[in-house]
């Protein structure tokens, strides 16, 4: 690890067109960082691309020693690419960027100065609008963040991008989270630390097309909910209580109707069915609550993270 290196991690999935554009743009920041005694290090993580991404990165390497490549055996997803990059990064400062130039490298000097001059541990970015995105996707995205705010204790910021610069301390904290199902937006929020948020407007992709289909995003959002909330496990308990309450109401109705001399056979039957279903659901909910504890234990997250100590 070296304080004099800024590692730039770039997950790439079929980005043969974007990689050279990205490299050219990011390389423009070299001068600024050299002035500050910091060298750049590019880590391209090829996430099982089927195009010429690997060849393109190798070509860059021929003329630039700072370029590194990790190439996956197949497509493992962006989360895996981020993790591989973080594990390989040598820098005291690390930044995550998309290959498609939606994360402007021109922001890097500003991010660096927030860390070195203003004492932040981490500079994150969020986009303030979703211009150029299908409206239905934006709608679902907003519902997802709204839901997460309610059911998760971890702060997950709406519009947050993965584009961020972190100190070594933060990177090590992220790496200390060994969980298998990784949802970075949640992990970043979970580790905490002093974070500066920069906002910018959505920028269109430089080349190629988005790798996220609606379906892929939907699955990703379920992953986020399951990784950072155990609230769904309580649903059967709540439903069980509702069913038992309904059974009690039905019982009262049956008694009243019975006293009035009506036939209450069907009512009693409904009452029994509601009660038995309610008990079953409630038991499932109780099991779910213990299950949620086991789930959290198995993740084996650090019990705390220290920012500073004497």
What residues make contact with ligand UDP under the rule CB under 6 A? 11-13, 15, 47, 75, 77-78, 81, 98-100, 102, 205, 210-212
Phi and psi at 244, nearest 5°, equal: -65, -40
Measured from the CB atom, the residue of 188 and 243 that comes closer to ligand UDP is: 188
Q: Please state the closest distance from residue 209 (CB atom) to Mg ion, in A.
A: 9
Output the smallest distance, CB 149 to ligand UDP, in A. 21
75 binds, among Mg ion, ligand UDP, none (CB under 5 to 8 A by kind): ligand UDP
Neighbour-count burial of 307, counting CB atoms closer than 10 A to its CB (0-12 exposed, 13-18 middle, 19+ buried): exposed
User: Out of Mg ion, ligand UDP, none, which partner does residue 103 contact, by CB within 5 to 8 A per kind?
Assistant: none
Helix (H) or strand (E) holding 174: helix 168-175
**Shorter beta-carbon distance to Mg ion: residue 105 or 236:** 105
**Taking the complex as a whole, how short is the minimal distance between the CB of residue 93 and Mg ion, in angstroms?**
23
- Indicate which of ligand UDP, Mg ion, none lies near residue 81 (CB less than 5 to 8 Å, by partner kind): ligand UDP
Distance, in Å, from the CA atom of 95 to the CA atom of 174, rounded to the nearest integer, reads: 13
Binding mask 76-115 for Mg ion (x = CB under 5 A): ----------------------x-x-x-------------
- Which one, of 131, 124, 116, lies nearest residue 198 by Cα? 124
Per-residue contact string for residues 177-206; x = within reach of Mg ion by CB under 5 A: ------------------------------
Q: How far is the CB of 40 from ligand UDP (least distance, A)?
A: 18
The nearer residue to ligand UDP, 98 or 121, going by C-beta atoms, is: 98
* Complex with Mg ion: residue 41 or 103, whichever CB lies closer: 103
Q: 107-166: which residues touch Mg ion (CB under 5 A)?
A: none
* Nearer to ligand UDP among residue 63 and residue 213 (C-beta): 213
Q: Does 17 bind Mg ion (CB under 5 A)?
A: no
Q: Nearer Cβ to ligand UDP, position 184 or 195?
A: 184
Residue 71 β-bridge partners: 46
Helix 135-151 and helix 214-228: axis angle, to 10°?
A: 10
Residue (71 or 292) nearer to ligand UDP, CB: 71
Spatial neighbors of 155 by CB under 8 A, at least 6 apart, are 189
Tell me the sheet residues that pair with 126.
Answer: 160, 199
Q: Confirm if 221 and 232 have CB atoms less than 8 A apart.
A: no
Given a contact cutoff of 8 angstroms between Cβ atoms, the answer to whether 58 and 69 are in contact is yes
List the one residue out of 94, 100, 83 whose CA is nearest residue 212: 100
Task: Report the nearest approach of ligand UDP to the CB of residue 72 (Å).
Answer: 9
In the complex, minimum distance from the CB of residue 189 to ligand UDP, in angstroms, rounded to a whole number:
18
Of the CA atoms within 13 Å of residue 75, those in its CB half-sphere come to 10
147 contacts 226 by C-beta, under 8 angstroms: no
Query: Which contiguous run of DSSP H or E holds residue 123?
Result: strand 122-127
What's the burial of 189, exposed, middle or buried (CB within 10 Å: 0-12/13-18/19+)?
Answer: buried
Q: How far is the CB of 103 from Mg ion (least distance, A)?
A: 8
| Residues in a beta bridge with 165 | 95, 123
Nearest distance in Å: CB 208, Mg ion: 9
Closer of 65 and 209 to Mg ion (Cβ): 209
| The pair of three-digit structure tokens given for residue 246, joined into one six-digit string | 């309904």
Binding site for Mg ion (CB under 5 A): 98, 100, 102
């Amino acid at each position: 690890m070296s304080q004099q290196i800024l590692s730039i991690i770039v997950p790439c999935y079929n980005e043969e067109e974007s990689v050279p554009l990205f490299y050219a743009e990011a390389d423009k920041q070299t001068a600024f960082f050299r002035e500050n005694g910091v060298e750049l290090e590019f880590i391209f993580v090829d996430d099982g691309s089927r195009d010429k991404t690997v060849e393109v990165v190798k070509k860059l390497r021929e003329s630039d020693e700072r370029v590194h490549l990790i190439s996956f055996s197949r497509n493992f997803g962006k989360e895996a690419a981020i993790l591989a990059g973080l594990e390989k990064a040598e820098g005291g400062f690390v930044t995550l960027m998309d290959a498609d130039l939606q994360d402007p490298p021109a922001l890097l000097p500003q991010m660096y100065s927030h860390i070195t001059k203003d004492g932040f541990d981490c500079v994150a970015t969020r986009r303030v609008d979703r211009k150029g995105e299908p409206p239905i996707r934006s709608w679902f995205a907003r519902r997802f963040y709204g839901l997460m705010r309610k059911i998760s204790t971890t702060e997950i910021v709406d519009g947050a991008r993965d584009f961020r610069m972190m100190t070594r301390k933060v990177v090590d904290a992220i790496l200390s989270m060994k969980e298998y199902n990784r949802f970075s937006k949640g992990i970043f929020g979970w580790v905490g630390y002093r974070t500066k948020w920069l906002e910018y407007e959505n920028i269109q992709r430089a080349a190629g097309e988005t790798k996220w289909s609606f379906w892929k995003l939907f699955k990703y959002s379920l992953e986020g909910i399951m990784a950072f909330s155990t609230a769904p496990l309580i649903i059967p308990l709540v439903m069980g209580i509702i069913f038992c309450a309904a059974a009690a109401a039905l019982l009262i109705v049956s008694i009243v109707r019975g006293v009035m001399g009506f036939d209450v056979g069907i009512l009693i039957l409904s009452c029994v069915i509601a009660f038995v279903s309610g008990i079953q659901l409630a038991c499932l909910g109780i099991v779910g609550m213990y299950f949620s504890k086991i789930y959290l234990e198995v993740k084996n997250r650090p019990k705390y993270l220290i920012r500073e100590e004497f």
